């Protein structure tokens, strides 16, 4: 079986748009301040696919796929977070997009 090719998209003008996937781990005061919920709504507004969840160590983890420039917008937002959050670090791991997601969800 051949490996699945990463999805490609075209802009309205027909140009190929670069897709990317990131795996994020956000540390600091990021639980109990609506960080997960606000990440979810921000990613949906941006049209990204993937998920976000709280981890037992107090951090937040997220995977997002979409157009590279839009994913970079989410990363920039994650570095600030919602009011009440104090973000110490955002670890960004770039990965090959898989196209496995149909929307952006909160995982529990």
Catalytic residues: 36, 54
Helices (H), the chain: 35-46, 68-80
Q: Roughly what angle, to the nearest 10 degrees, separates helices 35-46 and 68-80?
A: 160
SS3 of residue 81 by DSSP:
coil
DSSP 20-32: EEEEEEEEEE-SS
């Amino acid at each position: 079986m051949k490996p699945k090719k990463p999805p490609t998209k075209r802009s309205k003008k027909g140009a190929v748009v670069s897709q990317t996937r990131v795996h994020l781990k956000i540390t600091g005061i990021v639980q109990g301040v609506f960080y997960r919920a606000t990440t979810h709504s921000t990613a949906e507004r941006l049209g990204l696919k993937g998920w976000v969840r709280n981890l037992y160590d107090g951090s937040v983890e997220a995977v997002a796929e979409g157009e590279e420039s839009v994913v970079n917008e989410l990363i920039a937002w994650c570095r600030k977070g919602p009011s009440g959050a104090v973000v110490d670090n955002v670890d960004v791991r770039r990965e090959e997009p898989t196209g496995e997601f149909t929307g952006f969800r909160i995982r529990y």
